[in-house]
Amino acid sequence: MDAPLDLVGHSTETAFHSNELAIEHVEPISRSDIWFDDGNIVLQAENVQFRFFQGILAAYSPFFKDVFSIPQPAAGADVVEGCPVMRLPEKAADVNYMLSFILESKSSKLTPSVADIVAALKMGHKYLIAILWDDAVERLRYEFPERLDEYQERRDKSTVYTRIRFDKDCPGRPLHLVDAVKDAGLERILPALCHRVVEKSTLDTLMHGPTSVARLEDPSLQTRIMLLGARAKRPSIRARLMRRAYSEPRTVPSECLSPQRCQDIRRSKLIRCLQRIEEDAKSVLFRPWPTDGQTKQKRPLCWLCVHEMQEKLAAEQQAIWDELPSLFGLPSWAELKDHVLE
């Protein structure tokens, strides 16, 4: 009877490689900082080895529990300091993140990079490590929420708290997340994620892809085409938003304190907004009306017109948000589902 296959693609009998298998190592083997002298299993990813505990891995991962429960052939087994060696196909940095998370899953200092989140999704799903998967999904939902008010709050420039590191010193950008989130079946995260990518990415980045990152796969051509299509539609959506806010109704409210002045200001604002839209396809769609915007203007609108425009802008932004999934070829919000790791 054939031995069962594990998720790496080898039989569990060969999960622990023997010396009979010819493996060429371009670089010498090195030890990770995750090396416990009393550990009883050595995991190897690329040319890096990690000495860990079978019991801890089995407690968090049904996959590893099944692998460890099957007796391995003793003859010719590859061992390090008496510990069997199990080779993993992932990047060493990804395995390091997985093991670090298992050791300290609730560390307040742990703010993962995009590469870490992608690794957590893939390895959490593959090795059935629920806490690793759930943490990545929770962070993604925080950064890319379903509700417009939450999205606006978290994109506010005054908000410094983030649950994923996007700074230049970290590997990966939001664009690198799109394929990983799609592959993970996290449909409800995609609209806000894709919107942010389109809003923040240059045309050249969407056309040719971002700078390659060693730990991450380049965004697929299909994904970049989808995002480029959405980018092409943004100017007309933005123009619709501005026309709704500044020019409807055609006349100012009957209670307006300065009808002619307010009407002139609204008209000039609309013209300037439409000009900016033509010049910049990345113009922001969901920025709330600035609370202090009136005080900075030389010719402010009366408070009645400001209130009316605030209401119309917010209503139109919500309408656009409700339609956001369709911009990226996705079903409606009500039809989107997220995969649950079981």
**3-state secondary structure string, 153-170?**
HHHCCCCCCCCCECCCCC
- Looking at the domain assignment, is residue 220 inside a domain? yes
Same domain, 154 and 41: no
- Looking at the domain assignment, is residue 12 inside a domain? no
- Looking at the domain assignment, is residue 122 inside a domain? yes
Same domain, 93 and 123: no
pLDDT for residue 48? 97
- Looking at the domain assignment, is residue 2 inside a domain? no
Same domain, 88 and 124: no
pLDDT for residue 279? 62
- Looking at the domain assignment, is residue 311 inside a domain? yes
Q: pTM of this prediction?
A: 0.82
> In the sheet that 48-52 helps form, which strands lie side by side, from edge to edge?
30-35, 48-52, 41-45, 83-88, 79-80
pLDDT for residue 148? 95
Same domain, 218 and 309: yes
pLDDT for residue 9? 45
Same domain, 180 and 137: yes
DSSP readout, 296-307? G-SSPPPHHHHH
Same domain, 91 and 135: no
- Looking at the domain assignment, is residue 7 inside a domain? no
pLDDT for residue 291? 55
For residue 157, how many C-alpha atoms fall within 13 Å in the half-sphere facing its CB? 4
> Minimal CA–CA distance to 152: which of 266, 276, 291?
291
> What CATH number should be reported for the domain holding residue 89?
3.30.710.10
Same domain, 34 and 133: no
Same domain, 315 and 267: yes
Tell me which of 75, 104, 133 is where a domain ends.
Answer: 104
pLDDT for residue 277? 66
DSSP readout, 189-209? GHHHHHHHHHHHS-HHHHHH-
pLDDT for residue 122? 96
Tell me which of 46, 70, 104 is where a domain ends.
Answer: 104
Tell me which of 61, 86, 104 is where a domain ends.
Answer: 104
How many domains are there within the chain?
2
pLDDT for residue 127? 97
pLDDT for residue 12? 46
pLDDT for residue 96? 96
pLDDT for residue 2? 39
pLDDT for residue 282? 56
Same domain, 82 and 169: no
In this structure, are residues 111 and 165 in contact, taking their beta carbons and an 8 Å threshold?
yes
Same domain, 95 and 234: no
Same domain, 72 and 131: no
The rounded average pLDDT for each run of 10 residues, N- to C-terminus, in the chain (342 residues) is 39 48 64 95 96 97 94 76 93 96 75 93 96 95 95 72 77 89 97 94 90 88 96 87 71 74 79 69 68 52 80 90 96 95 81
Q: Is the peptide bond before 249 cis (omega within 30 degrees of 0)?
A: yes
What is the domain range of residue 299? 111-341
Q: What is the dihedral of CA 298, 302, 308, 313, to 10 degrees?
A: 0
Same domain, 180 and 319: yes
How far is the C-alpha of 105 from the C-alpha of 130, rounded, in Å? 11
pLDDT for residue 299? 54
- Looking at the domain assignment, is residue 16 inside a domain? no
pLDDT for residue 136? 95
Neighbours of 142 (CB within 10 A): 14
- Looking at the domain assignment, is residue 247 inside a domain? yes
